[in-house]
Amino acid sequence: MRSMRIALTAVAAVVLVAGCGGEDSGSASPAGGGGAAGGFNPPNIPAAQSVGQGEGQVNLVAWAGYAEDGSNDKSVDWVTPFEKQTGCKVNTKVAGTSDEMVSLMKTGQYDAVSASGDASLRLIAGGDVAPVNTSLVPNYADVFPGLKNKPWNTINGKSYGIPHGRGANLLMWRTDKVKPAPDSWGVVFDANSPYKGKVTAYDSPIYIADAALYLMATQPALGIKNPYALDQKQFDAAVSLLKQQKTIVGEYWSDYTKEIQAFKSGDSVVGTTWQVIANLAQGEKAPVEATLPKEGATGWSDTWMVAAKAQHPNCAYKWLDWIVSPKVNAQVAEWFGEAPSNSKACQETSDKKHCETFHAADEPYWTKVHYWNTPIAQCLDGRKDVTCVDYSKWTQAWTSIKG
């Protein structure tokens, strides 16, 4: 029996080691750097003045699906043509969260990153990314004006990146279970909701912004102007709304396959979602619809940024121009399920209705979308007389909301 015990111990050891390893990989190095507390003055880093010969390779940090080389799906490949055309070999590191992206960029080994709004400010403040000279990216001219010069990609009039694409967090519901069709987030926040126990919400501290957005419309007295710039009073109101919501939530989701399955089985009947999830659920014959509620919504807008200490800046600029070129931008947007940033991409999509489905050119639609942003102590809405609640507090509040 001795051998049995040894084998068992070995199995247990492997499990423990695997468990520890998993946690370690997430810890990496902390985010942020430089930048004086209380003010937002990014380090002065010059932008490139010209793009020369490629350096032979480029190292990217990207969201899954943003730099496809045909290894996932043979027909989905815009990396190989880029390599052939420019001679820059692409090495992609896929990151799972915005925090991971920030950590990876801090290592200084990467040339460009596809940062969401809740990572871009931290990268800029930390001096990890350089301003981007947009005149060196010819396709920038065709990017939708609604995506240019935004607080998450431009500081003091200086552009820090090239918009990649955008999407909104929508309200999805089961058409057979939820009647009448909802047009307000109220259905997921009302404590007396008839759908108690079947409501779902996004499992991330950034979801506090969704509550703030709802309060913006329903409690104007709080004076919320930007759901990512909340002073203590506004923040407490959002948190207490979410604590009330917790009583009707069946489960929180962060893995999109989990949400599709929950809606398909009817364990969730109403809650927040992404357009791509709604499409996939409909594709699996789940009777669901998604809409942008009348209060507006939160969303994301991704930006390609160049590292301050890029070792292959020329190839990085070539990549930036390539990824927003009409054809490639259309491919990425269709593969990932988001609105392309290049206005000419709409003619290049294989599904001719793609831009319509994802509201690519529908600017009135996007004015109702508040893109993810990093909450910092200095209020993003420009208020100087109060301090706002920063993201680390958001995370702790999220823990207490879920109890």
Chain residues that interact with another protein, rule: CB under 8 A = 1, 4-5, 8-9, 11-12, 15, 19, 23, 26-27, 30-38, 97, 99-100, 102-103, 122, 125-126, 197, 203-205, 246, 249-252, 254-255, 258, 261-262, 265-267, 376-377, 390-396, 398-400, 402-403
Torsion of CA 224, 230, 231, 233, to 10 degrees: 70
The residue among 27 and 53 lying less far from another protein, judged by its C-beta, is 27
Shorter beta-carbon distance to another protein: residue 266 or 382: 266
* CA separation for the pair 69, 81 (Å, rounded): 9
36, 232, 273 from 239: Cα distances, Å: 28, 10, 20
Closest CA to 227 of 118, 148, 154: 118
Tokens 């600029």 correspond to 317
Cα–Cα distance measured from residue 2 to residue 273, given in angstroms and rounded to the nearest whole number:
53
CB of 172 or CB of 315, closer to another protein: 172
Residues 6+ apart with CB under 8 A from 209: 227, 228, 298, 370, 372, 375
**Smaller CB separation from another protein, 249 or 277:** 249
C-beta separation of 79 from 57 below 8 A: no
Nearer to another protein by Cβ, of 289 and 390: the residue is: 390
Residue keyed to tokens 């390599």: 83
Residues 306, 291: Cα–Cα separation, whole Å: 35
Give the orientation angle of helix 391-402 with respect to helix 232-246, to 10 degrees. Answer: 30
CA 272 to chain centre: 14
Task: CB nearer to another protein: give 286 or 369.
Answer: 286
